[in-house]
Amino acid sequence: MKYLKQFGLFCWDFVVGDDWRLAAGVVVGVGLSYVLAHRGMNAWWLLPALIVVGLALSVGMVGRGARQVASKAQTGESPQQPIEDS
**Residue ranges that bind another protein, judged by CB under 8 A:** 14-19, 22-23, 26-27, 30-31, 33-34, 37-38, 42-44, 47-48, 51-52, 54-56, 58-60, 62-63, 66-67, 69-70, 73-74, 79, 83-86
Q: 45: helix, coil or strand?
A: coil
Cα–Cα distance, 70 to 11 (Å, whole number): 34
- With DSSP H G I counted as helix, E B as strand and the rest as coil, what are the percentages for the chain, rounded to 5? 75, 0, 25
In the complex, least distance from residue 1 CB atom to another protein, rounded to whole angstroms: 23
In the complex, least distance from residue 2 CB atom to another protein, rounded to whole angstroms: 19
